[in-house]
Amino acid sequence: MAVSRFFRMRDCGRLGFVFLVVSLSSCFGAPRQQSENEDPKTQTGSTQAPDDHEIAYFSPSDKSIYSLTGFNTKKKLVTVEDGTATWPVYSPDGNRIAFTGTVESVLATYTMDAKTGGDIRQITSPEGDLPEGVLDWHMDGRLVCVTKNKDHNAEIYLIKDKNDMVNITNHVHWDFFPLSHPDGVISFWTSRDDPKVDSKEYDYQSVYTVNPDGSDLKKRFQIDAMTSKDVSSGIFPAISPDGATYVFMMDQDLYRINMDGSDLTNVTNTKDNQELFPFFSDKEPKRVYFSSSEAGRPGLNIFSTDLNGKDRKQHTFLEGEVILYPKFRPCESNDTSGGAQRGLTILSEHD
């Protein structure tokens, strides 16, 4: 199953990005409909020992963002009406989730209460032909987004609200897949060093880091094997909680590399399965989690492996469910949400 059959990217000039539209019927089969609080242990008769962590993910079966507790109890937080969304992103304290999608017919970037799905706040309204897409949440409280600027290329922005949007890359070429690191820098993939850069047939091979104020731009490494085909399927990078190991998707496998460009390794290296959407738990810097499937079975569940590709484990057993863009809720959380009631009251950023 090629990842390109699973995703269709909306146009973004030379490379589709930001929103990932799921073509479920062409890949993993139609998921069985479940009630939003159904315990998947009753579906399969087996599960891994539950963890007390919460995970947020997007489910294309009903176009909704869910939370998942203990790998077995799911709760619907919000429905994204047009079925397109960036992956849910937790705030540094774990109290809120940011996402980009359509709620009550308004396409925008929102935040919501991470426990209830309530207190939905509209942060920005997209402008132009490429809506901003929130991809991470920086430790300084600003959202890390990608949007098209006046030069009609994609740039990385730090956003507080519509009146406070700072372009931190500001380059004539294309910058994608930003990631906030534990030390505060922001990494991103870029086309600026591609061997075919003059032809504008970009492969997006280089990773740079930059400070939140746009200073100290550094090239970290370049992956010569990366092609535009790989990028169109998604890179979806993740950084270990100790900041030492960078993991990303390439050619339907997960790779790891040190931030100095050393020790590039294919972690999963499987022929029959796809490993998608790597993410880390704050408690386990040497173990990466991801979405994958059992051979011959529909759906995407959560698996993990150590960074050497050993000790692969399956953690969820949701029959027919497709878990997209999963993220752990940060461990260090001061839950001051006050138990807000779930609802779809849309608040502007100044309310």
What's the alpha-carbon Rg for the chain, to the nearest Å?
19
CATH number for the domain spanning 294: value is 2.120.10.30
Helix runs in the chain, H state only = 3-6, 41-44, 228-233
Question: Hey, what amino acid is at 38?
Answer: E
Task: Give the integer Cα–Cα distance in Å for 205 and 188.
Answer: 10
Query: Distance between CA 336 and CA 75 in Å, rounded?
Result: 19
For residues 206 and 203, what is the distance between their CA atoms, to the nearest angstrom?
9
What's the CA gap between 138 and 145, in Å, rounded?
Answer: 10
**What total number of domains does the chain contain?**
1
338 CB-near residues (< 8 Å, 6+ apart) = none
- Give pLDDT tens digits along the chain (351 positions): 333 323 333 333 333 333 343 333 334 444 433 444 444 443 333 334 335 689 999 999 999 999 999 999 999 999 998 777 778 999 999 999 999 999 998 889 999 999 999 999 999 876 655 566 899 999 999 999 988 766 678 889 999 998 899 999 988 888 989 999 999 999 999 988 877 766 666 778 999 999 999 999 999 999 988 888 777 778 999 999 999 999 999 988 999 999 999 999 999 998 778 899 999 999 999 999 999 987 667 899 999 999 999 999 999 999 889 999 999 999 864 443 333 333 444 444 444
Token pair in block for residue 332:
């260090």
Using a 10 angstrom Cβ sphere, with 0-12 exposed, 13-18 middle and 19 or more buried, the burial of residue 117 is buried
Q: In Å, what is the CA distance from 129 to each residue of 132, 134, 337?
A: 10, 16, 35
Has residue 339 been placed in a domain? no
Q: Is residue 340 part of a domain?
A: no
Is position 223 within any domain? yes
With respect to residue 87, please indicate whether it lies within any of the assigned structural domains: yes
- Residue 287, domain member (yes or no): yes
Structural domain containing residue 119? 3-328
pTM for the model: 0.83
Q: Is residue 244 in a domain?
A: yes
